[in-house]
Structure 1
Amino acid sequence: MSFLVMTILTALLTALILGLSLLRGRKTREPAAAYDLRVYREQLASVDRDLARGVIGEADAERVRTEISRRILAADAQMQAGTKQAGAPLWATFAAFVVIAAVVIGGGIEMYRQMGAAGLPDQPLSLRKEQAEALRADRPSQAEAEAAAQPAELPQLDESYANLLEQLRDTVAERPDDLQGHILLAQHEANAGNFPAAYKAQKRVIELSGDAAPADAYSHLAEMLILSAGGYVSPEAEEALKQALQRDPRHGPAQYYLGQMMVQIGRPDVGYRIWVDALRDAPAGAPWADAIHAQLDELAFRAGVFNAPDIPSPAASGPSQEEMDAAAALTPEERQEMIKGMVNQLSERLASEGGSPEEWARLIAALGVLGEGQRAIEIKNEAMEVFAGNAEAIELIDAAALQAGIAQ
């Protein structure tokens, strides 16, 4: 039996119950005069009992009997006059029943027509899981997705930067086994918005790294594949994410994209669980954690979760309000020089005095923004030595390296 038929029958049953309640009320309702008669008769009996106990005298008892008898006669006359059928007339009761039935049944059908999915077949959980697995197995490949995606408009590069990028391409083409060259090429192709070239260079990075390729390398490859396909997680990108999670099961960016893939194949429930797990271990300032927070409420609704845990976003360190106000008053050239000066000061302090993992991560990310990839790589390697054995610090540094585009 379809859901629509069951809905109509449920509404009809509800209307019948309400209608029977109205009719039963008419049958069991008695006029007010009948209730008065019972009260007066009880009062007469009470007078006789009081007289027998000597509570009142004969004269008082007779006077009270006379008054009660007068009221009994009046109530009886009222009933004899045909006023015993109190309440609304029969036609009004049936009219009320018709209105109730029309509102419950007709209103329910109209709401379902507007908000429901009339004609949609039943979709049990087992069927939806089978459909999701079928969609996952038969979804388009990376090449098909790139062919179907709308070509992205590449940003206009500064002439000097474009020339340097072209020189880097030529150098890497002449030195196909240069690991560091391919790392830089993948980073700068991504910075230029040329994601297909970026993931090709990243594949070569993984080939040259062999078994030593870290989780970040595969996560970066997956990200470039996904961006090349317009946000679609292809089977090739999924395989790269699996490789990243095999090396680091708590790798945040890989968990983010894997959850995104689950949503795309119709499993928001699995995607929601993956994202919640990722948030619990998110380092401060991780960009992928902010992306999860922005979409988590909607995903929880789609997953049928109405008691979602409140996972606060990790606090990210950054400039003070005074520094931001001062930077806003500068020209772009002055602002760039100020940023470089702050980065150099931080770098010198960390080199001489050391610092927290958050400060090292902030320096790596800032160098990536400034385009100083080689220097960022050197700082990252130094930080990895400083915090060797500290899993939380290493994860924070890896996240900053991913943000800077040097996650190798």
Structure 2
Amino acid sequence: MLLSANDILLFLGFAALTALSLWMILRPLRGAMALPERAEGESEIALYRDQLDEVARDLERGVIGEKEAQAARIEVSRRLIAADEARIAAERSKGVDDPRWRKVAAISLVLFVPLCAIALYLMAGSPGLPGQPIAARLNVPAEELPVEGLIARVERRLKENPQDIEGWESIAPAYLMLGRYDDAARAWTRAMLVDGVTAARLAARAEARVLANNGTVSAGARDDLEKAVALDAGEPRAQFLLGMAELEAGDREAALARWKALVAGAPEDAQWVPAIRARIAAAEGRIEIAPEDEPLIRGMMEGLAARLEDEPNDLEGWLRLIHAYKVLAEDEQARSALATARATFGQDADALARLDEAEAALDK
């Protein structure tokens, strides 16, 4: 979302006011931290004053003479002056708090900061914009709402009428789209409680559970899938996910057989068929070619085959041709090209070893 110049100005103004407020609040605390040092300086001064009094008492009792008393007074006075100067310097450098500063800080916080905030809002904000409660914001045409808004609207409707089957069947796919897989599974459960169990609903709940489990078919999801195909053997989502479970279990042939049967029985206009074919190709270790790309690939392959008739000693060309036939699932032509290549390189052990690798790839 792009910010306007007013938005940026408003943000910077509030940030500056926040910083100023914090500084005013923390400065007295900083001064309070200096109090122990201040108390220490004053105690030293009091000590020297006590020493001056002690010198005077000693002189009165005759313990010391006038000269000794005078010398002691000079020395103690020198230390007293030095201690007092050090105290004053410390107060200036540490910024010791005083009542006047506290009053200024309090008045500024109470008056200046709110007034500045109001001025900034009046200048860069939208004080004339009417309030928009959540209910009012949701009561707009559906095409004007984001997905989250649509979900909030349906959730509100379902809270008022939990028997609304259309609501449950519309919110479950929306949850799925937003990655809220557990919510999607719960929504399908509510739909089945309201309107009964169907193969499509079981398959949809299983899909949500699989996605919530990082793409792994859990025991609960598999149970849903088996119940779904028991109700409708042609349910495509259930058959596809059961094939995924078989593939995860290491039974690749069972998964391929299930998917190929699903594709063979699919309607001509089924939009999910290309995705299943791509899965089949991936499980078989080959590339699924889009119908619009096949003429180009076949033309390149036929050109390569024609060139190899004139230049049969090109081993890399034979290997590319064999692989191209495999990609197009033309195993008979691939093996024919392999046999021709073997005959051509019958005396080259290295070439025959690479052709053996190509044959092993055909058997996978």
Q: Under a length normalisation based on structure 2, what TM-score does the superposition of the two structures give?
A: 0.37
If you compute each CA radius of gyration, which structure gives the higher value, 1 or 2?
2
Q: Under a length normalisation based on structure 1, what TM-score does the superposition of the two structures give?
A: 0.33
